[in-house]
């Protein structure tokens, strides 16, 4: 089974007095919009088997065309309607729009299957709907910390063999990026600011600008690898998010390496 994702980018003018501006650059945004408006990034993921005669799961152009035909019209209609009624496009209403897109696209790729739709609300938060109609909220945070990878049961030579430069006695630093994904129980009542506060107070602030190997009791007998930091984050937040269930933690220690943890049952 393969999964293939196409990102479509488009803009919605909330006040379409000048008509829609299609433009010619779908890499940037198509429709392009006339000025400052709603910029939408939608990741469309399709799953299925690769066709032996083409090597394709599905032609990306087909995903692009069908997703644009359905999603662009839904977003335009719903956003303009909300603005005309003096309503904001909040998370709950964004979920409703995404769910409508899911319904419109769900049977569009037969024999392949639509497996998820993911709207990037901005580069640091997103909403995802998947095959079981589950809606998830993800948001990124960051902290800076130093650590040293070392095992007292190893010889110095063994430590450097296992951990290389990461065994430097003075330690080394990372700018970590943390993505927390949760399933709100009720999107209408989901308090995103309480969510942010809990993540910051319970986890980010405890590690930010710290020497993890020296300053945190959690790592006195545990190597502060990105794997262990990810589990640490999960254990800290798993039952602390008000009105939401923690679904996954993903931590980048740089732009080339990250670890994802979904609990013991994940």
Closest CA to 225 of 160, 159, 166, 155: 166
* C-alpha angle 132-138-142 in degrees, rounded to nearest 5: 155
Tell me, yes or no, if 101 is annotated catalytic.
Answer: no
Tell me, yes or no, if 95 is annotated catalytic.
Answer: no
Preceding omega of 249 cis (within 30 degrees of 0): no
The number of helix segments (H) and strand segments (E) in the chain equals: 8, 9
Closest CA to 45 of 94, 9, 74, 2: 2
Task: Tell me the β-bridge partners of 155.
Answer: none
Question: What is the C-alpha separation between 118 and 57, in angstroms, rounded?
Answer: 19
Q: Are 43 and 9 in contact (CB under 8 A)?
A: no
**Catalytic choice (62, 100, 166, 183):** 166
**Catalytic choice (142, 156, 172, 209):** 209
**Catalytic choice (45, 47, 118, 253):** 253
Q: Strand, helix or coil at 215?
A: helix
Tell me, yes or no, if 209 is annotated catalytic.
Answer: yes
Q: Are 4 and 46 in contact (CB under 8 A)?
A: yes
The pair of structure tokens assigned to 112 is 């392949």
Q: Are 161 and 151 in contact (CB under 8 A)?
A: no
Catalytic residues: 166, 209, 253
């Amino acid at each position: 089974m393969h999964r293939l994702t196409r990102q479509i980018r488009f803009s919605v003018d909330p006040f379409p007095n000048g008509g829609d501006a299609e433009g010619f650059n779908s890499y940037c945004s198509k429709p392009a919009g006339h000025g400052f408006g709603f910029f939408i990034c939608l990741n469309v993921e399709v799953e299925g088997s690769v066709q032996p005669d083409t090597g394709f799961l599905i032609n990306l152009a087909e995903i692009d065309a069908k997703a644009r035909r359905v999603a662009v019209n839904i977003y335009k209609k719903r956003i303009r309607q909300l603005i005309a009624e003096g309503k904001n496009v909040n998370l709950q209403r964004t979920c409703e729009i995404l769910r409508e897109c899911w319904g419109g696209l769900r049977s569009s790729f037969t024999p392949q299957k639509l497996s998820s739709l993911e709207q990037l609300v901005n580069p640091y938060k997103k909403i995802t709907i998947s095959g079981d109609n589950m809606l998830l909220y993800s948001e990124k945070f960051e902290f800076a910390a130093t650590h040293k990878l070392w095992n007292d049961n190893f010889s110095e030579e063994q430590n450097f063999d296992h951990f290389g430069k990461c065994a430097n006695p003075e330690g080394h630093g990372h700018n970590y990026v943390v993505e927390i994904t949760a399933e709100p129980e009720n999107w209408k009542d989901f308090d995103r600011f309480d969510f942010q506060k809990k993540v910051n107070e319970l986890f980010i602030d405890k590690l930010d600008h710290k020497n993890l190997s020296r300053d945190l009791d959690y790592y006195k007998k545990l190597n502060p690898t990105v794997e262990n930091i990810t589990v640490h984050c999960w254990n800290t937040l798993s039952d602390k998010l008000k009105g939401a269930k923690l679904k996954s933690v993903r931590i980048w220690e740089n732009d080339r390496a990250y670890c994802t943890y979904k609990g013991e049952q994940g």
